[in-house]
Amino acid sequence: MQVTTDANAPWLIVGLGNPGPEYAGNRHNVGFMVADLLAERVGGRFKRAGKAQAQVVEGRIGPPGPANRRVILAKPMSFMNLSGGPVNALREFYKVPVAHIVAVHDELDIDFGMLRLKLGGGDNGHNGLKSMSKAMGADYHRVRFGIGRPPGRMQVADFVLKDFASAERKELDYFVDRAADAVECLVIEGLERAQGTYNS
């Protein structure tokens, strides 16, 4: 799918998760973890975004010159299944084309720590994506962070709302760092280059 947009338009990078300390370490909140790391990299702190139910950091990524990109990092402060409203409000406020939106989210159908980048597509049962697609269409980028499938007969809802296992936590920082690198590559160098480097 080839989407043409204004190259100078800002990018909106959305980490998906649930607000509140009780959810902070959950598998479902890996999007927040990546957004937090990107905020550190641009030297910003998340602040409430006006009327939108979200926290944002504005900054720039990329080398000086034409590859430098203005970005808005966002964490919706609604719950996951209502993410679309806050994201769409930010899109309208910052005048971001849908093709310049990147959702970073957990993905059950990929092994833990593996990444897949794509543009558009279905929501694969992910309530955050479902809400976003309903609010503004599906033609936005996704950085899918693998969390694997639940063991045994554990329900998916229980699995995603549990913290990463202790063995996973040993590697989690490395994989979150890699996901942040993938987001930067996507925004600066484009989807094809980012897929070639980070899709696993």
Instruction: Tell me if residue 28 is catalytic.
Output: yes
Is residue 130 within 8 A of residue 35, CB to CB? The reply is: no
Q: Which residues pair with 162 in a beta bridge?
A: none
* Edge-first strand listing for the sheet containing 11-15: 47-48, 54-61, 69-76, 11-15, 101-107, 141-146, 115-119
Name every residue whose Cβ is closer than 8 Å to that of residue 152 and which is 6 or more positions away in sequence: none
The Cα–Cα gap between 150 and 147 comes to 9
Name every residue whose Cβ is closer than 8 Å to that of residue 197 and which is 6 or more positions away in sequence: 182, 185
- Look up tokens 């989407």; give the residue: 3
* Residue from 112, 105, 109 nearest 164 by CA: 112
Query: Residue 22 is which amino acid?
Result: E
Per annotation, catalytic residue among 28, 100, 105, 141: 28
The stretches of the chain forming alpha helices (DSSP H) are: 30-42, 84-94, 127-136, 156-160, 166-189, 191-198
User: Which residues are designated catalytic?
Assistant: 28
